[in-house]
Each structure stands twice: as structure tokens, then as C-alpha cells.
Structure 1
């Protein structure tokens, strides 16, 4: 019969902490950011261009908005990507994606926004 002395720990019986690879947090957007995505549905592709002198003059004469850009650069980058996504789905210009990432968003944020807009586009087509 064998005898094991459990009073003295050995190297083989030393407790080993389980290895946990850090799991990155899931991408999420704030309520304000989701509002920007929803409002971008109503913006036209023309809202992405800088208004010219004639457009500014006509807006001054007849009233109306010439500049729909948001004051916060982060939210503006989100709006621009969202407008493209509402009109063209996943076909977003590379320059807009670079601006989106430069504003502090991750590729997971982009995937989250595009997936959400894609669902909204398909639901809109089903209703029409």
C-alpha cells in the first residue's frame, strides 16, 4: 500500500491559476450615438458634401439648412458612415472608414453599425 504525505506540497501539486485570456469588451454605442445612426436615415447623400456659395446664398434668401454636419467630430464620423450605409449598404468609401476609425471607433463598432442598418434596410423594404 502506498502512502502520500498531503501535508507537504510538491511542485506537481502546487495550485496553478487558470489562464484567462483577456476578452475584449463587446462593441456598443451610447444612446446618443444610436440616435445619430437613426437620424442619418433621413439625411441625403448631398448632406455629405460641403455646401457651395450658391447653395449658401439661396438658403440665406429662402431659408433652409445648408450645413447638416454635427459639431462633434466623433458623431460626425458616425453620421457620415451611417448615411453611406443607409444608401449603399456595406459599400462605404475607404476614406469614410478611415475617418470613422480615426474618430476612435473600432472595426467592431463598424460591424455593429452596418449590421443594424442592414436590418433596418431590409425591414424598410419589406414594409414598402
Structure 2
């Protein structure tokens, strides 16, 4: 049987502690932003691609529903990062991280987002 020392991480796991914010840096998310993260769980990686001409034509003919991007660029950057987090964990393309930071989010928020998504993914895996 293996031994794992959780002494350093146990308080954060038990109390869902947020990383401490640096001066002028936001450490958490608003309720609306957490809602975007929760809704992104159902989005596929295909929702991150812009539909091509053929996909648009097929949608017009057959009336299929495409997943639309969020109109607010800041929330869309958060949604995109959350979709990658739900599907790939911490393996996020560098360009998406740049988009996330350009939208006004901080590295601490990225860490908080991906850590919480990873924790939820692990919990769901244990229940399955």
C-alpha cells in the first residue's frame, strides 16, 4: 500500500481555499462566471471551432442547432478555457491561455479554474 502525504493540500481540498490574490489581482470569479464554467461542461471541443461554409449550409437546410459563442468576449474567453479544462484538464493550448489573459483574467484565476474543474472531474470519476 502506498503512502501519500496530503498535509500540504488537505486544507485547500477541505475548505476549497482560493489562492491568495496579489495586489490589484482578482483571485476568484463572480456567480455569473461560475455559471459559464458549469454550462461549459456540456460543450464539446467542436464548439470552439468556427463553423465552415458546409456546416452553415447543412444547418440552414436541416435546421440543426449549432452551439453559439457567448456575445461577451470576456465570458467567451472563460467559456473556451473551461471547455478545454473539462475535456483536457491542464493541457490547454498556449493561444487559449493568451486569449484568457487578454480578456482580463489573471494567472491565479486560471489556476483556480483548472484546479476546480480537475477536482470535479476526479470526483465524477470516483462516482462512476
TM-score scaled by length of structure 1: 0.78
Equivalences for residues 1-128 of structure 1 within 5 A:
27-128=27-128
Q: In 2, distance between residues paired with 1:93 and 1:127?
A: 29
Question: For the Cα contact (< 8 Å) 1:81–1:96, is it kept in 2?
Answer: yes
Structure label with greater radius of gyration:
1
For residue 62 of structure 1, report the CA deviation from its aligned partner: 1.7
Which structure has the highest helix share of the two? 2
Structure 2: runs of 5+ lacking an equivalent:
1-21
Deviations 1:40-70 (A, max 9, x none): 1100000000001111111112223234211
For residue 24 of structure 1, report the CA deviation from its aligned partner: 5.5
Question: For the Cα contact (< 8 Å) 1:55–1:66, is it kept in 2?
Answer: no
Q: Tell me, what secondary structure is at the counterpart of 1:116?
A: helix
Q: In 2, distance between residues paired with 1:70 and 1:115?
A: 23
Question: For the Cα contact (< 8 Å) 1:50–1:67, is it kept in 2?
Answer: no
Structure 1: runs of 5+ lacking an equivalent:
1-21
TM-score scaled by length of structure 2: 0.78
